[in-house]
Every structure is written in structure tokens, then in C-alpha cells.
Amino acid sequence: MAEPILEVRGLVKHYPLTTGILFKKQVGAVKAVDGVDFHLDRGETLGIVGESGCGKSTVAKMLVNLERPTAGEIRYKGEDITRLSGRALKAVRRNIQMVFQDPYTSLNPRMTVGDIIGEAYEIHPEAAPKGDRRARVRELLDVVGLNPEYINRYPHQFSGGQRQRIGIARGLALRPEIIVADEPVSALDVSVQAQVINLMGRLQDEFDLSYLFIAHDLSIVRHISDRVGVMYLGRIVETGRDAEIYDHPTHPYTQALLSAVPVPDPEARERRERIILTGDVPSPTNIPSGCRFRTRCWKARERCALEVPALAVPAEFRYARGPAAHDSACHFAEEKRVVPPAEEGAGPVQGPSPGEGPFAEGEGPSAGGPGASEGEEPGTVGPRRRGAHREDGEGGADGG
């Protein structure tokens, strides 16, 4: 296989905890990320899932250099970018861009959409000649399904889904090879989520992008990812191709996580086994010895407290070629299917096959001219002036 476009080895981020005002003394550390390894191949999507506090967002920030790692390497095309600075770093950062979670706070309210997206060209002037920039921004707006005429509008004139499109356009401005997306759809309503996910899928093909897709929603991660890494308390505990993780998980945490996800199928209520974990995630300042999951694990034995399990194919599966033979950091790994296989034709959720019925049309890149694509329904709520207060009216009505 070709060299991965991004490779992360032994990545660590510890935030020191100090006492004293004048003479600071370190008394401990928040071990947000505590030894993470993964790679990302060109054109693929790696999904990182985990609950809040597992360190997935900190990993994202380190990849785009918003945080400096405490230790470890981030290799972009073989070169360790954690050691770079100045001009060389700037050149690399052009190729790794980020899409943020919250479309409400990640866009500067005092800048127009054109300036927000075009700002990238101020920092990297070589990416587009000066006279060409407005045209580039218009093109980008069109690409993400917004009307290019909206270039002079402000973020508050757009809905959440449209703002996330602006965030994506900004991420694309420098034609990066890698997009790090941290919970890009979790702030959006269900019906709008699908629009943005489909958009991201289309852009990946169009621009040959590699995605690192970080989310807590396991269904969305499965939908979009080729490979998945499951994080717990600063480490990846299991990683593999999507079917390996979802249909053949071997780590107890992954199994518990999957079994806890509500499936939109009432028939599954009876068919599914629920693993309800007890207790809460331990504090990252005080990580359990040995296996960090052992305090909540129903399989934990003495060995788990003494020995840190390595992230590798467990011995029992090593020679049995099959979907269970993937990396899992557990001393007592065993395969356990917790998501029952979907029954063919079990309902409309299966999705009708293309070209059948009114719901099959989906959305495509050929959604028409500017402004006519998915998110933009000129007849409904365009970001015109009166649309500007839409969120207010809605917010007031919903009462918080």
C-alpha cells in the first residue's frame, strides 16, 4: 500500500496541573491524549468515535496545530510536522484544514461570508492571485450549495446548516488534501444533518479529500467512514474497517458503546442485548493502572490492573483471518455481535433503491444552477433581510 498521507505515532497531550502563585509546582496532569497511533490514507475517511472527554477533539486540534503535542509524531507524507516552524509549517498547514462543530461561534459575526472564506488567501497569498480571489470565493459558495450572490452577507443571515456549509467552504479554500472535521453535524437538526453529510461525501469525491471525521454519533460515523477508531480516556482502544468494528467488535468498551446506541427500529427492542455500563468515565487526571477501561469493565481480572493492553490484533484472532482479526487493546478480547443485522426490507429506513418513488431522488452534484442546490430553496427561507431574524423568532418560540 502506498505511504499514508498522515501518520500519527505515540501522540500525547498532557495539560499540567499546578499549585502556587509565585513558585508554580506541577502536581499532576490532565492526560487528555495519552498515546494515540493511527494513519490516514489518501482519499479515505477515518472516523474517530468516543464519549465526551475521551480526547478526540484534542487530537483534532493537534493535527491542525492549534495545540502543541506534549510528545509524539504527526507525519504528513512522511515528515514530522510537530518539529516544523515558520515557513515550512505554514506550507504544511495549508494542506490540513479544519471544519468546526459549532457553526454559530466558529464564524466571525463581524465579517462577511466573502471575507471569512477569503481570509485564507490573505494568509496564503500564493494560493490565489489578488484579483482572482472574489471569483474563487464565489466558486466555493457554489460548490457547497450556497448562492454565490450571498458573498456580502453576514453569518447571522444564514441558518445553522447554511453556516456549516460556509465553514466547509472556508476549509476548502486552500484546496487542502486533508480535512479534519470535529463534530461537523452534531449542532444541526436531523433533516439538515443529512444534507451536510451528503455534501461532505460529494466533496470528498470531487476534491479527492482525506477526512478525519470526529463524532460521538456512532451511526453517522459508520455512514461516512471507511475505517473507525474508538477512543476511551485518551487512547484508541479498537480500530478497524467499519464492518469489523460495528459487526465484529472485540473490545468490551466498543461493545457497550454500540449496544447503548438507540436504533430507530422498535422491533429491535426485543432482539438487542443491552450492555449497561456502571459508573462514570474516570477523571483523566487519575487514569486507572493497566487497562484504563477496567474500572467499568465486566470482564476485568487481575491482569487488567497490572498490564497495559497493547493495541494489536489479539492473539486468539491472529491466525483466524476474518473480520474479528483487527486491532483491539484488550487482554480478554472476544467477538460479540451487539448490533443485530438489519433485516432486508424491514422498513422505509432501509432507503428505497435509487430511482424508485418520490423519496429516491436524494441530492446530487447536479442539483441545478447556483442557489438551486439542496440547502437553498429560494422559495422557503433564503437569507434575505427578513430571514435574518428567523433564528430569533424560532428561539423565542421554542422558549429554551
Partner 1 sequence: MLLEVRDLHVEFRTRDGVAKAVNGVSYGVDAGETLAVLGESGSGKSVTAQTIMGILDTPPGKVTGGQILFEGRDLLTLKEEERRKVRGAGMAMIFQDALSSLNPVLTVGDQLGEMFTVHRGMSRKDARAKAVELMDRVRIPGARERVRQYPHQFSGGMRQRIMIAMAIALEPRLVIADEPTTALDVTVQAQVMDLLAELRREYRMGLILITHDLGVVADVADRIAVMYAGRIVETAPVHDIYKAPAHPYTRGLLDSIPRLDQKGRQLYAIKGLPPSLTRIPPGCAFHPRCPMARDVCRTDVPPLYEVTDAPSERGSACHFWRECLHG
Report the run of H or E that residue 167 belongs to, with start and end: helix 160-172
Determine which residue in the list 107, 137, 258, 329 makes contact with partner 1, applying CB under 8 A: 258
Per CB under 8 A, does 345 bind partner 1? no
Candidates 79-87, 110-118, 175-183, 339-347; binding stretch for partner 1 (CB under 8 A): 339-347
Span 147-186, contacts to partner 1 by CB under 8 A: 159, 161
Q: What does the DSSP assignment read for 277-320?
A: --S-PPPTTSPPSSSTTGGG-TT--HHHHHSPPPSB--HHHHSS
In whole angstroms, how close is the CB of 79 to partner 1 at the nearest point?
34
CA 192, 174, 217, 287 torsion-angle sign: negative
Among 1, 2, 22, 349, interactor with partner 1 by CB under 8 A: 349
Say if residues 207 and 199 touch (Cβ distance below 8 Å): no
Residue type at 311 in one-letter notation: L
Instruction: Please enumerate in sequence order all residues whose Cβ is within 8 A of that of 397, keeping only pairs 6 or more positions apart, or say none.
Output: none
Asked if 389 is part of the footprint of partner 1 (rule: CB under 8 A), the reply reads: yes
Does the protein bind partner 1 through residue 252 (CB under 8 A)?
no
Minimum Å gap between C-beta 165 and partner 1 is 12
Q: Which is nearer to partner 1, 97 or 239 (CB)?
A: 239
Q: Does 274 bind partner 1 (CB under 8 A)?
A: yes
Binding to partner 1, residues 117-146 (CB under 8 A):
none
Q: Which of 24, 269, 303, 318 binds partner 1 (CB under 8 A)?
A: 269
Nearer residue to partner 1 within complex by CB, 85 or 283:
283
Could you tell me the smallest distance in angstroms from the CB atom of residue 338 to partner 1? 10
Minimum CB separation of residue 216 from partner 1 in Å reads 7
Residue 163: count other Cβ atoms within 10 Å of its Cβ.
Answer: 23
Q: Is there binding between residue 263 and partner 1 (CB under 8 A)?
A: yes
**DSSP-based three-state secondary structure for 229:** strand
Specify the residue, 122 or 273, whose C-beta has the smaller distance to partner 1.
273
If one asks whether residue 193 binds partner 1 (CB under 8 A), the answer comes out as yes
Interhelix angle 113-123/133-143, rounded to 10 degrees, is 120
| Closer residue to partner 1, CB minimum distance, 66 or 342 | 342
Asked whether 288 and 277 are in contact (CB, 8 A), the reply is no
Q: Which residue has the cell 460521538?
A: 216
The smaller minimum CB distance to partner 1, of residues 26 and 105, is found at: 105
CA neighbor of 354 nearest in space, from 343, 364, 367? 364
Residue 264 near partner 1 by CB under 8 A? yes
The interface with partner 1 within residues 210-249 (CB under 8 A) comprises: 216, 218-220, 222-224, 242-243, 246
Q: Does 392 bind partner 1 (CB under 8 A)?
A: yes
Going from the C-alpha of 6 to that of each of 64, 130, 225, 382, 394, the distances in angstroms are: 12, 31, 16, 39, 42
Selection from 106, 76, 105 nearest residue 88 by Cα = 76
Interface with partner 1 includes 277 (CB under 8 A)?
A: yes
Q: Which of 122, 132, 149, 189 binds partner 1 (CB under 8 A)?
A: 189
Q: Is 89 in the site for partner 1 (CB under 8 A)?
A: no
d(CA 282, CA 288): 8
For the segment 24-43, give every residue that binds partner 1 (CB under 8 A): none
Q: At what angle do helices 113-123 and 160-172 cross, to 10 degrees?
A: 20
Evaluated on CA atoms 298, 304, 308, 310, the torsion sign reads: negative
# binding residues, partner 1 (CB under 8 A) = 77
